[in-house]
Amino acid sequence: MAYLGRILHGFKTLLTGLRITGRESMRKPVTLTYPHVEPKLTGAYRSAIKLIRFEEMDSHDCVACLACEQICPSFCIKIDGGKIEGIKKKRATLFEMDFALCSLCGLCIDVCPTDTLEYSRLYDEAGYDRDWNMDLLEEFRDFEPTFIEQQREREEKEAAAKAAKKAAAAKAKAEADAKKAAEAEKAGGDAPKSGDAPKSGEAPKSGDAPKSGEGSAS
Ligand code: SF4
Ligand code: SF4
C-alpha cells in the first residue's frame, strides 16, 4: 500500500513539474541568447571610464590637469602630460586606469574641467586574471601628431581673430574720442566770450552811464 502511495506521489510531482514547465514556456523570455543578441543598456548604465572624442577636434580634450587622478578615491588613475611643443594647449601623454579598482563612483567625471570623461558602455569584458589596467589614450595615439598640427593652426587663427578684434575696438575708440573732441570744440566756439562788446540795439550796461560833467547844459 505504501509502495502504491509513493508511485502516486511521484506521478503527482511529475504533473506539477509539467504544469510549471508548460506555464513558463508561454511567458516572454527574460534572458538573452548572448552573444547572438545584443543587450539594450539603460541610459544609467555605468562601465569603465573613457575619454570622449569631440567632433570639432576629432580627439579627446584631456589637458593633464590631474584633477581626476587626485580626486579618485580608489587611486586607480595614472596621468602624465603637460605643455606640448608648438601649441598652447596642454595634453595628456599617459592616461591609465585600473578598472579592477574602480568603484564607478563618477567623481573623476564630475571634476573634469574639460568634460572629456564619461562612462563607457562596455558590458562583455572578461579575463582570467585581475590585470584590468586600461590605456585610455590608445585609440587617440596615432592621430596625435595630426591633432597637434591642427591645433597649432586653430590657435593661430584664434590669435589672428583676437588681434583683429582688438584693433577694431581700438579704432572704434579712437574714432569716438575724435568725434567727442570735435563736438566739444564746436560747442566751445559757439558760446559768447566774456569780453565780447554788446551789439547795436542792446541796452547799455550800468557801467555805461555818463560820467559827471558830461551831457547837455540846462
Ligand atoms: S569612477 Fe571613481 S573610482 Fe572609478 S576612476 Fe573615476 S574616480 Fe576613480
Ligand atoms: S580631470 Fe579631465 S582634463 Fe584633467 S586630467 Fe582628468 S581627464 Fe584630463
**Which residue ranges make up each domain of the chain?**
49-141
Cα–Cα dist 210/53, whole Å: 98
Whole-number pLDDT of residue 86: 87
Whole-number pLDDT of residue 13: 96
Whole-number pLDDT of residue 150: 95
Does the structure show a pLDDT above 80 at 216? Answer: no
At 92 the three-state DSSP class reads: strand
Residue nearest to atom 3 of ligand 1 (CA): 102
pLDDT tens track for 69-122 = 999 999 999 999 999 988 999 999 999 999 999 999 999 999 999 999 999 999
Average pLDDT over residues 138-143: 96
State whether the beta carbon of 114 lies less than 6 angstroms from ligand 2. yes
Q: Is the pTM of this model over 0.75?
A: no
Cα–Cα dist 215/95, whole Å: 110
State whether the beta carbon of 52 lies less than 6 angstroms from ligand 2. no
Contact 107, 73 (CB under 8 A): yes
State whether the beta carbon of 47 lies less than 6 angstroms from ligand 2. no
Residue nearest to atom 6 of ligand 2 (CA): 68
What is the pLDDT of the chain when averaged over all its residues? 88
Residue to mutate, 57, 59, 60, 63, ligand 2, most ligand atoms under 8 Å from C-beta? 63
Residue scoring higher pLDDT (62 or 208): 62
pLDDT tens track for 148-197 = 999 999 999 999 999 999 999 999 999 999 999 999 998 887 655 555 54
State whether the beta carbon of 106 lies less than 6 angstroms from ligand 1. yes
Confidence of residue 2 (pLDDT cuts 50, 70, 90): confident
Does the structure show a pLDDT above 80 at 62? Answer: yes
Domain spanning 49-141, CATH class: alpha beta
Cα–Cα dist 96/76, whole Å: 8
Instruction: Note the ligand closest to the C-alpha atom of 80.
Output: 2
Residue scoring higher pLDDT (1 or 143): 143
Confidence of residue 203 (pLDDT cuts 50, 70, 90): very low
φ, ψ of residue 77 in degrees (nearest 5): -110, 140
Gap from CA of 179 to ligand 2 centroid (Å) = 50
At 131 the three-state DSSP class reads: coil
